[in-house]
Amino acid sequence: MVLTEERPNLLRPGHAACAGCGLATGMKLVLQAMGPRTIAVIVPSCEGAIGGVYPYTAYGVPTIHSAFEIAAPTAAGIANGLKVQGITDIQVLAFAGDGGTFDIGLQALSGVAKNNDDIIYVCLDNEGYMNTGIQVSSSTPSFAWTGTTPKGNPRRKKNIMEIMAAHYNPYSATATIGFPRDLQQKITKAKGIRGTKFIHMLVPCPTGWRTPSDISPELSVLAVETNIFPLYEVEDGKRYTINHQPRRLPVREYLSRQGRFRHLKEEEIEQIQRDADEEWKKLRYRAGLSG
Amino acid sequence: MKEFMTGNHAIAHAVKLCRTPLIAAYPITPQTPIYEKLSEWEASGQLKGIMMRTESEHSAMASCIAASLTGVRTFTASSSQGIALMHEMLHFASGCRVPVVMANVNRLLAAPWGFWADQLDSLSQRDTGWIQFYCENGQEALDSVIQAYRIAEQVYLPAMVSIEAFFVSHFMEVVDLPEQEQVDRFLPPMDLPHKFDMDKPGFLVPVVPSELYRKYKHMAQVSMDSVKGLALQVDQEFRNEFGRGYGIVEPLMVEDAEVVVVTAGSITGTARVAIKELRERGYRIGLLKVRLFRPFPGEAIREALRGRKRIAVIDRNFSLGGGGIFCQELRAALVHSPDRPLVFSYIAGIGGTDVRPEMIERVCLDVMERTEPMDTPIWIMEEGS
């Protein structure tokens, strides 16, 4: 099921994303799966820049550019405003970056997930504050260079999926642009579930990751195949399903393609490999698989 | 129908009477009884709508703004640290031109900690673009919430109704509850022209160039300025329907007054008693209550104080490095007054300390002695402290 050709493009041409932006591709795929009966929320981030400056906008559905930390309660306010008027055929979609989700918006997202307000929340994770020019976030991976970690990020990436699962929300899933069919299936599935749905989407960023502009989909595939970013779903905080059996390529193949990891020492690469192996084991255990 | 109730419950009744279908709130003393009462009515079905129990005041305001843009009436209540946390979203609400109504229970701001009456919390939000009312008692708070919706939904600006912690929020008084049919007649359903429209998918709150930003702020100012006249008109209509009204300022015995005391909020009630007594003893003292603070009713104040020579503004709030905030605003409003009155700033009741009639009497007698202008505020404390 790839909807690209069948559905209208709701992220219009002429948007202001950098060349090769994975985030813009991700938004386009999500909006296609959502369809026109959608109200979208964006927050200050690359999404705001992509949307363009008044009187132009790339967004093809009614959209509000809310404040940084409140993608979730803005979407929840819209969803409840519609509900109280008896409007049931419009879905509310929130887009926020990793800064707006892992960091400044985490509390507000937690509050909405606790209430199980009926929204689809998509975290467009490019692993740093890219719109302000590449600063570290709590989603930035170990050892990665950013403008505020010139010697490499000393901490690991936060596990946002586990944080969401701890809310027992009905549906959370990882997705990435290199697997568009999987991504759109997950959005379609989320549309059919009432409550707070969370999609954690990895979106390669050529500008911030120091990569050529023509390899974002390929990098996104490598992230999955190296187990840096496995594709899985969590239902009601307890039922884990792995959606793609990775080829388990060495992480080096993913890291070596990106300028932000150029300075890595051998032991740092080995550390990332160990972390990926350990996380994969943990995930398989949660999914009821052994070994 | 008359009932005995707290100021907080009077506000909750107003929200129910206004048929507000979407409430988002977060608990904070001394506002919490509003949130609890509305939750109780939501659970029992007496309040038709949704109560969003958010994880912070910041998110409560975010949800109110967003829900308002779907075209529904919204409400939240807060206080002190809560409204301070909301600050970012208060600017956002007025910028979005949403008629959100909020009740604020005036409580001091930490540090140090305390729960007591002090108006600095909402006065610190004076530049956020909200209409602000300060109420003397529960009845006025109930009536002001109903009026606030009428005004806010006409000018598309948010409105805040403030009462002081405990003195009004928790004290029980007799409140005349309006009939539902009367409120329905007075307050038509909300009709917001700039809500989400599926047929015309617009982009709300875009990035705009400098000139457009300036244009929108100027448009907002024109709307805000119109509130002075509109609030008076709405109050008059309210008086016609419900038999009581308040004006935007209330002058009392000012015509022949040698000294006019200016108050806002619950100190007004005490001042009424003090001034009556001073009048009986032969002192020509008048009172001016300021009910509308944003927009500041400069013209109405100038008119009320015409010909007066000595004015004492009593503030239960204090801007460090400035002074009493009502006094600052009032001085600015009188700067072109041909009477060139002496305006003195008295700070009383800070941190919820009691302001007794004899303290107001002391202020009046103190002013009578003064012939020279004075910039610095005069703190009124109990004898010996």
Q: Which domains does chain B have, with CATH numbers?
A: 2-242 (3.40.50.970), 250-379 (3.40.50.920)
Quick: pLDDT tens for A125-135: 999 999 999 99
Residue B382: what pLDDT?
Answer: 77
Q: How many domains does chain A have?
A: 1
In a domain? residue A110: yes
Residue A3: what pLDDT?
Answer: 61
Quick: pLDDT tens for A150-187: 999 999 999 999 999 999 999 999 999 999 999 999 99
With beta carbons under 8 A apart, name residues in chain A contacting B92.
Answer: 66-67
- Tell me whether residues A80 and B56 touch, CB distance under 8 A: no
Quick: pLDDT tens for A206-240: 999 999 999 999 999 999 999 999 999 999 999 99
In a domain? residue A159: yes
SS3 label, residue A199? strand
Residue carrying structure tokens 């912070």: B56
Could you tell me which chain B residue has the CA closest to the CA of A91?
A: B198
Could you tell me which chain A residue has the CA closest to the CA of B89?
A: A67
Is the pLDDT score of B385 beyond 90?
no
> Which residues in A have their CB inside 8 Å of a CB on B?
36-37, 39, 41, 48, 51-55, 57, 59-67, 69-70, 72-78, 80-85, 90, 107-108, 110-112, 114-115, 117
Residue A5: what pLDDT?
Answer: 62
Residue A2: what pLDDT?
Answer: 57
In a domain? residue A9: no
With beta carbons under 8 A apart, name residues in chain B contacting A48.
Answer: 207
Residue A52: what pLDDT?
Answer: 86
CA distances from A277 to A160, A204, A246, A290, B153 (A): 18, 22, 12, 14, 58
- Tell me whether residues A62 and B204 touch, CB distance under 8 A: yes
**Average pLDDT of the segment spanning B292-321:** 97
In a domain? residue A271: yes
- Tell me whether residues B209 and A53 touch, CB distance under 8 A: yes
What is the percent of chain B with per-residue pLDDT over 70, rounded to a whole number?
A: 99
- Other CB atoms within a 10 A radius of the CB of residue B216 amount to 12
Q: Which of B24, B70, B88 sits opposite A78 (nearest CB)?
A: B70
In a domain? residue A4: no
Residue B384: what pLDDT?
Answer: 58
Is the pLDDT score of B111 beyond 90?
yes
- Tell me whether residues A85 and B22 touch, CB distance under 8 A: no
With beta carbons under 8 A apart, name residues in chain B contacting A27.
Answer: none
Supply the range of the domain harboring residue A65.
Answer: 22-286
CATH of the domain at A227: 3.40.50.970
Tell how strand B342-347 and strand B378-379 pair up. parallel
When pLDDT is cut at 50, 70 and 90, the band that residue A1 belongs to is low
- Other CB atoms within a 10 A radius of the CB of residue B46 amount to 10
B128 secondary structure, DSSP code: S
The predicted complex's ipTM stands at 0.96
With beta carbons under 8 A apart, name residues in chain A contacting B62.
Answer: 66-67, 70, 73-74, 77, 108
Instruction: Using a CB–CB cutoff of 8 Å, tell me whether B75 touches chain A.
Output: no
Residue A284: what pLDDT?
Answer: 97
- Mean pLDDT value across chain A: 96
**B256 burial via Cβ count (<10 Å: 0-12, 13-18, 19+):** exposed
Name the residue with higher pLDDT: B341 or A8: B341
Q: In what order do the strands lie in the sheet with B74-78?
A: B50-53, B22-25, B74-78, B101-106, B159-164, B131-134, B292-294
Is the pLDDT score of B62 beyond 70?
yes
Is the pLDDT score of B94 beyond 80?
yes
Could you tell me which chain B residue has the CA closest to the CA of A83?
A: B50
Could you tell me which chain A residue has the CA closest to the CA of B64?
A: A77
Instruction: Using a CB–CB cutoff of 8 Å, tell me whether B104 touches chain A.
Output: no
A260 secondary structure, DSSP code: G
